[in-house]
């Protein structure tokens, strides 16, 4: 029985809400026990410290210091005495913060401290985020024909393979290449350079960054004593920008697949499809005509 478009749309909405509930349930089951264990460990350490120094240290004296340390940690400032004093607002660090803001990654590890810094961040983002989206859209418009359209058209006409099969294989290959070059290879680098990170944590950071989730629980620091520490921070900024563009190219390539468009049309509301079939056919015909004219012109 063929369901109306509105029912399909409602089914998709219900499945998405169910997916949200499933995610919340799984995260709650996985993360609640470690959280309770961590809280118990902190409370035990707190009581042990007070017990050891009860003659010269009281709860009233310790509490303001702990609150101040937590507040500083929320601004990305460490109050520990055994860490390198790498400032958060020297130029390359500020450049990384700027890139994370404009790409909406927003790690939250470094935040403006001053009132004027917060005001400037608001005004700067109001202009910078739309400008970044426009810039990325223009880059995608120029990159997609080179990276996606022309290779698929060439293989389709050179070897006579079905266009849909070539497009699907190309999208899968591009996705795997993006994962390899912008997730696995950088993860190996972070794993080697950051010292305390495991490979899983390195992969986790790369994925969180390129998906613009930016939780901020892992941040590459390196060492302030490195001769090329500023270059290391600058390279991470470049990685964030180029990697985000590569992910967008891979996603847009996948979105152009006939299978994906058919899936979207299947769940489209009854008011009409967001991807008209006539537009799809016209786009494919125009691409084929362009490819045929190119081949005939070259011969």
Computed over every residue of the chain, the mean pLDDT equals 81
291 pLDDT more than 70: no
What pLDDT does 123 receive? 95
262 pLDDT more than 50: yes
What is the distance between the alpha carbons of residues 146 and 138, in angstroms, rounded to a whole number?
13
3-state helix, strand, coil in the chain (%, to 5): 75, 0, 25
What pLDDT does 288 receive? 43
What is the distance between the alpha carbons of residues 253 and 162, in angstroms, rounded to a whole number?
17
Query: CA distances (Å), 261 to each of 133, 171, 256, 264, 297, in order?
Result: 23, 14, 7, 5, 32
Q: What is the mean pLDDT of residues 109-117?
A: 84
DSSP code of residue 171 = H
Q: Where are the beta strands (DSSP E) in the chain?
A: none
In the block, residue with structure tokens 């992969």: 203
269 pLDDT more than 90: no
144 pLDDT more than 80: yes
> What is the distance, to the nearest Å, from the Cα of residue 138 to the centroid of all Cα atoms in its chain?
20
Model pLDDT for residues 58-95, shown as the tens digit of each residue: 777 667 767 776 666 655 566 555 444 566 788 888 89
In the block, residue with structure tokens 């939780």: 215
pLDDT: which is higher, 159 or 278: 159
> What is the distance, to the nearest Å, from the Cα of residue 179 to the centroid of all Cα atoms in its chain?
12
Buried/exposed code over 231-256 (b: 16+ C-beta within 10 A; e: otherwise): ebbbebbebbeebbbbbbbbebbbeb
Q: Where are the domains of the chain?
A: 83-256
What pLDDT does 73 receive? 61
Most trustworthy range by pLDDT among 60-64, 109-113, 151-155, 231-235 = 151-155
Percent of the chain with pLDDT over 70: 76
What pLDDT does 201 receive? 94
269: closest CA among 13, 1, 97?
13
For residues 24, 205, 102 and 132, what is the CA-based torsion angle, rounded to 10 degrees? -100
What pLDDT does 248 receive? 95
Band (242; pLDDT cuts 50, 70, 90):
very high
What pLDDT does 229 receive? 76
What pLDDT does 31 receive? 92
What is the distance between the alpha carbons of residues 184 and 176, in angstroms, rounded to a whole number?
10
What pLDDT does 296 receive? 41
Rounded to two decimals, the pTM is: 0.76
DSSP code of residue 149 = I
Buried/exposed code over 78-116 (b: 16+ C-beta within 10 A; e: otherwise): eeeeeeeebebeeebbebbbebbbbbebbbebbbbeeee
Q: Which CATH fold topology does 83-256 show?
A: Helix Hairpins (1.10.287)
Model pLDDT for residues 184-224, shown as the tens digit of each residue: 999 999 999 888 899 999 999 999 999 998 888 888 876 65
Say whether 94 sits in a helix, a strand or coil.
helix
């Amino acid at each position: 029985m063929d369901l109306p478009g509105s029912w399909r749309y409602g089914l998709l909405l219900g499945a998405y809400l169910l997916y949200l509930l499933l995610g919340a349930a799984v995260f709650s089951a996985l993360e609640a026990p470690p959280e309770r264990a961590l809280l118990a460990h902190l409370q035990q350490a707190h009581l042990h410290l007070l017990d050891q120094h009860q003659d010269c240290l009281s709860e009233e004296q310790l509490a303001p210091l702990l609150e101040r340390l937590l507040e500083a940690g929320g601004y990305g400032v460490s109050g520990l005495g055994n860490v390198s004093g790498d400032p958060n607002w020297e130029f390359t660090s500020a450049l990384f913060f700027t890139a994370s803001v404009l790409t909406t990654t927003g790690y939250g590890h470094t935040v403006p401290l001053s009132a004027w810094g917060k005001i400037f961040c608001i005004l700067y983002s109001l202009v910078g985020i739309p400008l970044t989206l426009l810039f990325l859209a223009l880059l995608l418009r120029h990159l997609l024909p080179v990276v996606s359209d022309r290779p698929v058209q060439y293989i389709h006409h050179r070897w006579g393979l079905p266009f849909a099969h070539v497009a699907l294989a190309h999208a899968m290959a591009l996705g795997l290449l993006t994962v390899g070059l912008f997730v696995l290879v950088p993860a190996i680098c972070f794993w080697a350079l950051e010292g305390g990170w495991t490979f899983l944590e390195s992969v986790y950071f790369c994925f969180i960054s390129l998906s613009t989730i930016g939780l901020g629980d892992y941040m590459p620091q390196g060492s302030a004593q490195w001769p090329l520490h500023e270059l290391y921070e600058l390279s991470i900024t470049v990685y964030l920008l180029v990697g985000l563009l590569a992910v967008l190219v891979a996603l847009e390539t996948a979105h152009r697949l006939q299978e994906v468009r058919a899936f979207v049309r299947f769940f489209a509301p009854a008011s009409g499809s967001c991807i008209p079939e006539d537009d799809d056919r016209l786009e494919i015909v125009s691409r084929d005509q362009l490819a045929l004219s190119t081949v005939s012109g070259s011969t």
